[in-house]
Amino acid sequence: MTMFKLRQKVFDNNRGERGEVTKVHPLGGLITLQNSNGFSWLAANENCSATEKRTPTIIERPSGEPFRIPPGTIPHENMRPSDLRVGDFAFLDGRLLRIRDMRGRFGGGRTIIFDKGRARPAEDAERVYRSLR
């Protein structure tokens, strides 16, 4: 079920009208919407959709170069090479790229393989972004 926040702009599919959330009711999946003319009405969460697209969070790196966090992921700090997974996002040349494959190396290390065959050795303490699923 979609949850909306106060002052969020939504479209009520049943009424065919846009409104701003003025109240989120704790039970029943209901919200109160108000249009630009000040008219209020009760709407069901499942009949509404957000009109504003969420923009990805931008984080400033120490170098000052921003990067975007892949949607639906959270950071994991100090990951050992053996803890990395295919599907994690790791840094390559200042960009977060999805790990497509990994290969073992002599001495217990790993080589991380990204899209288009780009690769680099895994560091002892990697910062990766992993899906919440």
Convert the pLDDT of each residue in 28-59 to its tens digit. 889 999 999 999 999 999 999 988 765 656 66
Convert the pLDDT of each residue in 82-129 to its tens digit. 889 999 999 988 888 999 999 887 666 789 999 878 999 999 899 999
For residues 51 and 10, give the distance between their C-alpha atoms in angstroms, rounded to a whole number: 5
Residue 89, exposed/middle/buried by CB under 10 A (0-12, 13-18, 19+)? Answer: buried
pLDDT at 117: 85
